Amino acid sequence: MCDNVWYSTVFLGARRVSNAQQMQGKENFATSESTKVWWQIYRKVYVSGSIAKWNLIVAKVDEKDFSPALLEKTSTLLRKNPEYYTIWNVRRRIFNNEFNNINRQADQGQLSEDNKYSQVLDIINLDLQFIFPLLLQYPKCYWIWNHRVWLLQQASKYLLADRARSLWEDELKLVSKMLGRDSRNFHGWGYRRIVVENLEDRALNGKSMARDEYDYTTKMIGQNLSNFSAWHNRSRLILCILDEERASTQERQEMLDEEIKFIHKALFDPYDQSLWFYHQHLLSTFDPDIAGASMMPDLSNESRLTYVKAEQEFIEDLIEDVEDSKWVYQALIECALIEAKLVNGLSEKMRTNIKVWLDKLKQLDPLRRGRWIDTEQRLLKDMP
Amino acid sequence: MSLVSGPGRGGQKTNALPDELALAIDQHVKYIQQLDTRKDELQYWMTEHLRLNGVYWGLTALHLMGHPNALPHDQTVQFVLECQNPDGGFGAAPGHDSHMLYTLSAVQILATINALEELEKSKHGGGDKVAAFVASLQDRETGTFAGDEWGEQDTRFLFCALLALAILDKTDLVDVNKAVAYVKACENFDGSYGRIPGAESHSGQVYTCVGALSITKRLDLANLDRLGAWLSERQLPNGGLNGRPEKLEDVCYSWWVLSSLAMIDKVHWIDKTKLTNFILRCQVTMHESRSRTTLISIDRIPSKVAFLTGLAIWLMYSTLFSVLQA
């Protein structure tokens, strides 16, 4: 069982089948009646074959018969449908059984330490290779991502730190490639955070990667401004960096100024909601009610007011070119409400302005009319 | 018609309104009723990993459409019990491993047809055993839940656990305060929620987190204005809702977003008429797709997240029901 040659056979065989399937996919089956009939026959055989295979796998696992043939059967089923979560579980049971065997043999002196590590590594590597094409084909399938994380966790558990680390490093490259293909992939960003967290782990000789990841968001935003996933990650990373580097008040303020400059530059597209959400996030820094959790918690109210005024001016400048962007009016209202908290009340002029902006919003953004009416009513009630 | 729906599938290609926008109730009821007779189709087996969810979706849609008895009661109970495993949890279908997602569906189905007491007849243990399985998946340190023995953690499972336990009246088996604190830790600057702390907001996760706060009566912890604003910005000019900023609309998000808005009493922050029309237009697309060859639908299965049968209809009716009730 410990001879890993059988794994290679299984996986190489698997790859050949996979190629054949790809070739098949390129043909157009729907071209004639006769192919339709053939397809129906094929389907029936295929269905009954899958069910038979399924039943066999369940039976074999019950009997704890974790043979190479069983692994091959799970490969076949998973290539047909990676959503079969139970089959992924079977696969992990097979590997767990194998890892236990290897470790037992090493403990009993039948296997050298080097051989132990290389056998575990082979199993993990081959399975990472097996699921790679599946991941490309089904990038939104939770179970594939889960299995990949599990494999990497086994590497951390069973291998020497350097070796495990290099596997995790390869994952960072892989996920960068995937996010290059689809820069908003929800799973991709989630997986990236997991990979980074593991690479930062001291057990793998890691250290903080917050700066690098922050730079990565800058790069991704540079390629596509409306990448909200990147803006989101950026908001979290900034807090990490400032905490980890025990940033002084001045350093925090420099970071804040940089971010404001960055978002102003991005807002040359004033219709993109990703940018405005981030802008709103930066404005939170000046809201005395929630500033405590921001990158600059101890700014004086006087400084906050100066910042808010500067934002108001920036937005008013924008309006001249983009009167039809609803976001500028929302941002102006946000600024006004923060200002009201800082100076303990709204001036009559501000109140009139807000009413004008809300009217503008009702007209530009009728879908959310109910929200603008609620805002208006609350304003009249809370700040008479 | 395809058995499969889900993100990327439920939208419509045209903005033109059909002559009549109405609920095709009879056709939908019939469709759900005959789902279980399609065992000679590949898709039936390709979606086996969602079977128990599918029964829940179909059943709920039938109830919303005023046909609560359209599925045979005894067979439904029997099928649910066949999905239970010795650990007390339920798998997607007989022979599949236990998982939180299916355990909740099982409890929901039985509760819907007033058959929770049937659990006591199960050879794998009654309601207490089910509740113990759910409770065993809580991470006692952080308060969140895993989906199964393999340990994936996600606010989806936290919600499923609290809901299943609430239905079984067994929330005392878990640390509710820690679960609530965990949800709070998943809140982002936009007022919305992600899978785990630090993960991006997503309307599906918002539904589960707001749902968890709602079940535990802790909605006071949410930033309702910011959350409501983010949710309302999911509506696009064609009336449909998307799942995240700058993404395309899909009928499945109609449910996640709208039900979240309903829980925080802000459904009026979006345009209900436009949403209703969007959903009904998707229905037309579903019917039109009957004319597509089965081959094409099969060919497409692996390219998308496979959501089973009935999900589209469930989403449609649940959402429409909420819109019309609000």
ipTM value for the complex: 0.87
- Pick the range with the lowest mean pLDDT from A14-28, B77-91, B125-139, B267-281: A14-28
Query: How would residue A323 be classed by pLDDT, with cut points 50, 70 and 90?
Result: confident
In chain A, the residue whose alpha carbon lies closest to the alpha carbon of B51 is A84
pTM: 0.87
3-state helix, strand, coil in chain B (%, to 5): 55, 5, 40
Per the structure block, which two tokens stand in for A289? 């009610």
How far does A21 lie from chain B, in Å, by closest CA? 12
Residue B3: is its pLDDT beyond 60? no
B84-96: b (≥16 Cβ within 10 Å) or e? bbebbbbbbbebb
- For residue A335, tell me if it sits in a domain: yes
Given a contact cutoff of 8 angstroms between Cβ atoms, the answer to whether B212 and B161 are in contact is: no
Under an 8 A CB cutoff, do B95 and A54 touch? yes
Interface test with B, best of A86, A152, A194, A224 (most B CBs within 10 A): A86
The answer to whether A11 touches A130, Cβ cutoff 8 Å, is yes
Q: Tell me what the mean pLDDT of segment B7-23 comes to.
A: 49
**Tokens 């959503």, located at residue:** A83
Answer yes or no: do A47 and B40 touch at CB < 8 A.
Answer: yes
Instruction: Return the residue of B nearest to A239 by Cα.
Output: B198
When CB atoms are compared, the residue of A43, A81, A368 closest to B232 is A368
The answer as to whether A354 is a domain residue is yes
| Torsion sign over Cα B210, B213, B215, B218 | negative
A54: which chain B residues are within 8 Å (Cβ-Cβ)? 95
Q: Which residues of A touch B266 (CB under 8 A)?
A: 370-371
Q: How many CA atoms lie within 13 A of B133 on its CB side?
A: 29
CA distance A69 to A7: 10
Q: Which residues contact B22 (CB under 8 A, 6 or more apart)?
A: B280
pLDDT for position B192:
98
Region A147-171: mean pLDDT is 97
Separation CA B214–CA B217 (nearest Å): 5
Please check whether residue A373 lies inside any domain of the structure.
yes
Q: How far is B247 from chain A (nearest CA, A)?
A: 9
Provide the greatest CA pair distance for chain A. Answer: 86
Q: Is residue A110 part of a domain?
A: no
Chain B residues with beta carbon closer than 8 angstroms to that of A233? 200
Inform me whether the pLDDT recorded for B320 exceeds 90.
no
**pLDDT at A332 > cutoff 60:** yes
| Cβ-proximal residues to B70 (8 Å cutoff; 6+ apart), any chain | B29, B32, B33, B62
Residue B19 C-alpha, separation from nearest chain A C-alpha, in angstroms = 23
Count of the separate structural domains present in chain A: 1
Q: A83-87, A310-314, A342-346, B314-318: which range is least confident on average?
A: B314-318
The CA dihedral of B53, B55, B58, B61, to the nearest 10 degrees, is -80
The C-alpha torsion from A274 through A277 and A279 to A285, rounded to 10°, is -150
Residues of B in contact with A150 (CB under 8 A): 150
Task: Give tens-digit pLDDT for A14-62.
Answer: 333 334 334 333 333 344 566 666 666 666 666 777 777 777 787 777 7
A100, part of any domain: no
- Is 80 exceeded by the pLDDT of residue B287? no
CATH of the domain at A307: 1.25.40.120
Dihedral of alpha carbons B64, B67, B69, B70, sign: negative
Least confident of A308-312, B98-102, B112-116, B322-326: B322-326
CB < 8 Å & 24+ apart, contacts of A147-151: A147/A88, A147/A91, A147/A92, A148/A191, A149/A191, A149/A194, A150/A92, A150/B150, A151/A124, A151/A127
- Domain range enclosing A289: 247-384
How close A236 comes to chain B (CA, Å)?
A: 7
Provide the pLDDT for residue A39: 62
Residue A317 has pLDDT above 50, yes or no: yes
Please name every residue paired with B91 in a beta bridge, in sequence order, or none if there are none: none
Q: What is the average per-residue pLDDT within B231-258?
A: 92
Question: B299: burial class by Cβ within 10 Å (0-12, 13-18, 19+)?
Answer: middle
Answer whether A60's CB lies under 8 Å from A87's CB. Answer: no
Whether A249 contacts A204, CB under 8 Å: no
pLDDT of residue A145: 96
Contact B16, B277 (CB under 8 A): no
Q: Is B236 left (phi over 0), alpha (psi -120 to 50) or beta?
A: beta
Residue A266 has pLDDT above 70, yes or no: yes
Each residue's pLDDT tens digit, B53-109: 989 988 988 888 889 998 999 999 999 999 999 999 999 999 999 999 999 999 999
The total of other beta-carbon atoms located within 10 Å of residue B102's CB is 30
- A241 in any annotated domain: no
Do A85 and B97 make contact, defined as CB atoms within 8 angstroms? Answer: yes
Q: Please, what's the b/e burial string for B229-245 (b: 16 or more CB within 10 A of its CB; e: otherwise)?
A: bbbbbbbeeebbbbbbb
Residue from A76, A157, A277 whose CB has the most chain B CBs within 10 Å, to mutate: A277
- Residue A363 in any domain: the answer is yes
| pLDDT at residue A37 in the model | 65
Query: What is the mean predicted confidence (pLDDT) over A189-217?
Result: 97
Measured in angstroms, the CA of B295 and the nearest CA of chain A are apart by 7
* Contact assignment for A274 to B246 by CB distance below 8 Å: yes
Residue A268 belongs to some domain of the structure: yes
Rank A10-24, A148-162, A337-351, B11-25 by mean pLDDT and report only the highest.
A148-162
Query: Closest-CA residue in chain A for B205?
Result: A186
pLDDT given at position B2: 35
